[in-house]
């Protein structure tokens, strides 16, 4: 046991007779319940009695021998130091008893993280990233950083944010795609944890305009299976890591998380189309699945016992220029990983043969000259490679059963939010 110093904010205060109970939110998810009795600690009781919810303080104390509170960890205090007092009543309930609208939760996220539920989400988020790094670095992936201000976008112009870069027009990077591929000329495996910037005008529960991803590229592959294996093992590792290391967070969130079994089901794109059509859903043979079709497929797969499943072999007409095409020319080695009807990752095997890549750019109506800096990297012994981008917010959303992707990021950038 011993004396411990804990700092945080009062999120609840209750006076019963000559006892004051204050609940202090610190970095741990469950609050510290400090019981102050006039009889036992008259000076601290006098201090505590006057403190408001929102007060920032540190206390020294030890865990109570008898833990009577169901709300948190009970402490007996020896010392209290007040660091700051609120100058206005709090605009939200940091206990979370009064549920706030999503809009309010987003606006006051920095304050609501005092609430055990909000804090739990962001502690799991940080654990997810630690897990991803642990898995990737122990599997030989080197961490890299690639530029966010770029001259050309991997996915084409429509969803690029424009940046004025001195006298030049530039863009914000949609993904590290082109750069991590170039690095396959000198590293066998790389990863980057990075922001994605996408100027999509969607206003849905699954889209953000600034989101984060775990971006991976792997060289010297023998087939797409090598990439699928890396991704399914990474996701299983993350989920397992959180289930082992974040029991308190999961308890507060009421989430029961279990390591998914691998391998995940592989569904050919055409199989997915057939399944959806047999359920009366209209699906195109040549376009990406709509959000609605993805959701429906998620329900069907869940019934068959598959929460996580790959859709492999998207048609060339629906993909970026850099995916490797099958010999028939119709399908590619692009895949999605879906988690209960939500695309959480996208990737594939890339075209690593220079001539075919130039051809692919032309077929997609892009000007190879704009991609010279990228094409150059395919001339000097570019091995077969593939990779993926795994969406941090979307994975977190599904792991924790959140309803809106906006609940999974501290500060939201969407169609209408540029502040805070």
Q: Is 198 a catalytic residue?
A: yes
Among 152, 154, 155, 130, which Cα is nearest to 143's? 130
What the block records as the tokens of 236 is 């299983």
**Binding to its own copies in span 199-258, by CB under 8 A:** 199, 201, 209-210, 212, 219-220
For residue 200, say whether it is annotated as part of any ligand binding site.
yes
Partners of residue 336 on adjacent β-strands:
311, 346
- 393 marked ligand binding residue: yes
Are the beta carbons of 314 and 269 closer than 8 angstroms? Answer: yes
**If residue 108 lies in a helix (H) or strand (E), which one and from where to where?**
none
For its own copies, the binding residues in 78-107 under the rule CB under 8 A are 83-88, 90-91
133 or 268, CB closer to its own copies?
A: 133
- Residue 105 CA: distances (Å) to CA of 101, 113, 254: 6, 10, 19
* Interaction pattern, residues 117-156, with its own copies; x per rule: CB under 8 A: --x--xx--x--xx--x---x--x-xxxxxxxxxx-----
179 binds its own copies (CB under 8 A): yes
CB of 176 to its own copies, least distance (A): 10
Nearer to its own copies, 66 or 88 (CB): 88
Is-contact 185 145, C-beta < 8 A? no
Q: In the beta sheet, which residues pair with residue 83?
A: none
Place of tokens 């750069």: 179
Applying CB under 8 A, does 324 fall inside the site for its own copies?
no
CA atoms within 13 A of residue 243's CA, in its CB half-sphere: 13
Query: Judged by CB under 8 A, does residue 358 bind its own copies?
Result: no
Q: Annotated binding residue at 207?
A: yes
Among the listed residues 306, 354, 366, 404, the single contact to its own copies using CB under 8 A: 354
| 275 touching its own copies, by CB under 8 A | no
Q: Is 373 in the site for its own copies (CB under 8 A)?
A: yes
Pick the stretch among 112-120, 244-252, 257-265, 318-326 that binds its own copies (CB under 8 A): 112-120
Q: Is 389 in the site for its own copies (CB under 8 A)?
A: no
The answer to whether residue 410 forms part of the interface with its own copies (CB under 8 A) is yes
**What span, in angstroms and rounded, lies between the C-alpha atoms of 80 and 191?**
45
Q: Say if residues 343 and 300 touch (Cβ distance below 8 Å).
A: no
Active site residue 200: yes
Q: Which position among 189, 198, 352, 385 bears the catalytic label?
A: 198
Region from 181-189, 227-235, 250-258, 271-279 binding its own copies, contact rule CB under 8 A: 181-189
CB of 394 to its own copies, least distance (A): 14
The nearer residue to its own copies, 188 or 404, going by C-beta atoms, is 188
Instruction: Report the C-alpha gap between 262 and 236 in whole angstroms.
Output: 7
The annotation status of 167 as a binding-site residue, yes or no, is no
Identified binder of its own copies from the candidate list 13, 19, 26, 318, rule CB under 8 A:
26
Do the annotations mark residue 155 as ligand-binding? yes
Cα separation, 18 vs 15, whole angstroms: 7
Is 243 labeled as catalytic in the residue annotation? no
Please give the Cα distance from 199 to 208 (Å, whole number): 9
Residue 350 labelled as part of a binding site: yes
- SS3 per-residue string spanning 28-57: CCCCEEEEEECCCCHHHHHHHHCCCCCCEE
Has 189 been labeled as part of a binding site?
no
Clarify whether 133 is annotated catalytic. Answer: no
270: which strand partners? Answer: none
- State yes or no: 370 annotated in a binding site: no
Within 8 A by CB and 6+ apart from 230, the residues are 139, 216, 218, 388
Catalytic, 318? Answer no
317, HSE (Cβ side, Cα atoms, 13 Å) = 9
Of 36, 234, 377, 405, which lies in the binding site for its own copies, with binding defined by CB under 8 A? 377
Instruction: Collect all residues with Cβ–Cβ distance below 8 Å to 374 and sequence separation of at least 6.
Output: 152, 178, 181, 182
Kindly state the smallest distance separating residue 116's Cβ from its own copies, in Å. Answer: 12
Binding of its own copies at residue 418 (CB under 8 A)? yes
Extract the annotated binding site for L-aspartate.
155, 198, 346, 350
Mind telling me the catalytic residues?
A: 198, 200, 206-207, 343, 346, 394
Show binding-site residues for Mg(2+).
343, 346
């Amino acid at each position: 046991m011993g004396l411990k110093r804990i700092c945080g904010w009062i999120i609840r205060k209750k006076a019963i007779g000559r006892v004051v109970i204050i609940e202090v939110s610190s970095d741990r998810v469950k609050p510290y319940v400090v019981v102050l009795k006039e009889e036992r600690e008259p000076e601290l009781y006098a201090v505590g009695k006057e403190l408001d919810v929102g007060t920032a303080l540190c206390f020294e104390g030890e865990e109570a021998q008898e833990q009577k509170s169901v709300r948190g960890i009970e402490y007996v205090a020896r010392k209290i130091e007040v660091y700051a007092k609120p100058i206005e009543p709090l605009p939200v309930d940091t206990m979370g008893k009064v549920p706030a609208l999503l809009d309010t939760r987003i606006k006051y996220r920095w304050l609501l993280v005092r609430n055990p539920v909000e804090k739990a989400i962001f502690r799991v988020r940080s654990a997810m990233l630690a897990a991803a790094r642990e898995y990737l670095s122990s599997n030989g992936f080197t961490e890299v950083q690639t530029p966010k201000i770029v001259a050309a976008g991997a996915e084409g112009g429509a969803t690029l944010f424009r940046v004025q870069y001195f006298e030049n027009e530039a863009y914000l990077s949609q993904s590290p795609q082109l750069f991590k591929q170039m690095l396959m000329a000198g590293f066998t495996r790389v990863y980057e944890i990075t922001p994605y910037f996408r100027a999509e005008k969607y206003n849905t529960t699954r889209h953000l305009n600034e989101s984060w991803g775990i971006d991976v590229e792997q060289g010297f592959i023998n087939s797409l299976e090598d990439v699928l294996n890396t991704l399914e093992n990474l996701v299983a590792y993350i989920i397992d890591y959180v289930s082992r290391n974040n029991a308190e967070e999961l308890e507060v969130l009421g989430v029961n998380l279990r390591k998914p079994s691998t391998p995940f089901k592989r569904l050919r794109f055409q199989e997915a189309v057939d399944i959806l059509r047999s359920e009366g859903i209209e699906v195109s043979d040549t376009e990406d699945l709509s959000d609605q079709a993805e959701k429906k497929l998620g329900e069907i797969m869940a019934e068959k016992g598959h929460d996580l499943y790959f859709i492999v072999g998207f048609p060339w007409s629906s993909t970026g220029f850099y995916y490797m095409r099958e010999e028939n020319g119709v399908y590619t080695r692009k895949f999605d990983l879906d988690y209960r009807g939500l695309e959480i990752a996208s990737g594939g095997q890339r075209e690593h043969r220079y001539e075919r890549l130039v051809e692919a750019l032309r077929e997609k109506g892009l000007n190879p000259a704009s991609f010279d800096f990228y094409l150059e990297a395919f001339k000097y012994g570019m091995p077969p490679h593939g990779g993926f981008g795994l969406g941090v917010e979307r994975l977190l959303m599904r792991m924790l059963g959140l309803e809106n992707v906006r609940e999974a990021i501290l500060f939201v950038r969407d169609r209408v939010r540029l502040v805070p």
